[in-house]
Amino acid sequence: MLSNVPPLQRAHDLVVGIVDDLSEIATSFAGGPNDPRSPVNDHAVLARDSARLTYASAKANALAGELAAVREALVERAGR
């Protein structure tokens, strides 16, 4: 269950997921914009990259929440 995973581990996992998504998007441009397999020329690749960007954005929003929770816990701990 996700709630059993420590916040820093969840943050780490989200960062890894974001990097994976962005790496896949970058790879699709490896042959240049004129490559027939680039998102510029291949609508299926464009759709896949668009979905990956949406996933990366969702992970970034979740990461912000995780980091806020970690910060809050640290502030609370320091106040004791």
AA identity, residue 70? V
Structural domain containing residue 52: 2-78
In terms of C-beta distances under 8 Å and separation of at least 24 residues, what long-range contacts does 45-54 make, across chains too?
Answer: 49/24, 49/25, 52/21, 52/22, 52/24, 52/25, 53/21, 53/25
pTM: 0.83
Express each pLDDT in 13-59 by its tens digit. 999 999 999 999 999 999 999 999 999 999 999 999 999 999 999 99
The domain tally of the chain equals: 1
- Over residues 64-70, the mean pLDDT reads 91
